Structure 1
Amino acid sequence: MLALTENVTEIVKKLAEEVPAINGLRIAAEPDGQSLSVSPADQAASGDQVLEQDGATVYVDETASVMLADKILDGGVDAEGNIQFALGDQA
């Protein structure tokens, strides 16, 4: 199952606090089956895996959950306030 770093949980919690319509993030596979998208979400879509960690919620669609089963999601905010995410292998 996808794991989240402390950085990501803090980013997700901050987004949810600042924008009431957002409850978490959703990770979905793109139609090409190779790429992933990350977007704010207010709820899970049908078939989504729901990850709750340290007060943060991330929804992962079925295809993406298979692709990310052995991954860890990290993230950060750059100087302009843009959120960036990176995937790594779980130890």
Structure 2
Amino acid sequence: MLTMTDTAAEAVKTIVSRVPEAGDGGVRIRDTGAQNGFELSVAPAPEPQDTVVVTDGARVFLDEAATTALDDRVLDAELGQDGSVRFALGSQA
């Protein structure tokens, strides 16, 4: 199952807090196919078929295809001084 670093968890919480209508939702990752990669969006709740990954209060919702594709991955993030966030995927050790 996908895991998150502490930095990624902090980034997810920061992003969700910027969207008032998201409440205590999370970031949803949808697999758009090999050509297009993944789509991230803020969602107030997971879809019924989503897998929910929680780390330190940060919630990530994975659609069925993303759950499979990211099974052995680690989500990391880099936080910019300007408030920007850049996510990266690594392999679990």
TM category (shorter chain) comes to 0.7 to 0.9
Structure 1 equivalent of residue 45 of structure 2: 43
Structure 2 equivalent of residue 66 of structure 1: 68
Please give the secondary structure, in 2, of the residue aligned with 1:21: helix
Structure 1 spans left out of the alignment, 5+ residues: none
Q: Is 1:21 equivalent to 2:28 in the alignment?
A: no
Runs of 4+ in 1 over 4 A off after TM superposition: none
Structure 2 equivalent of residue 57 of structure 1: 59
What value does the CA root-mean-square deviation take over the aligned residues? 1.3
Structure 2 equivalent of residue 12 of structure 1: 12
State the alpha-carbon separation in 1 of the partners of residues 18 and 82 from structure 2: 17
Shift of 1:4: 0.3
1:87 aligned to 86, 89, 93, which one? 89
| Number of residue pairs the alignment of both structures matches | 89
Normalising by structure 1, we get a TM-score of: 0.88
Normalising by structure 2, we get a TM-score of: 0.86
Please give the secondary structure, in 1, of the residue aligned with 2:28: strand
Give me the identity figure in percent: 38
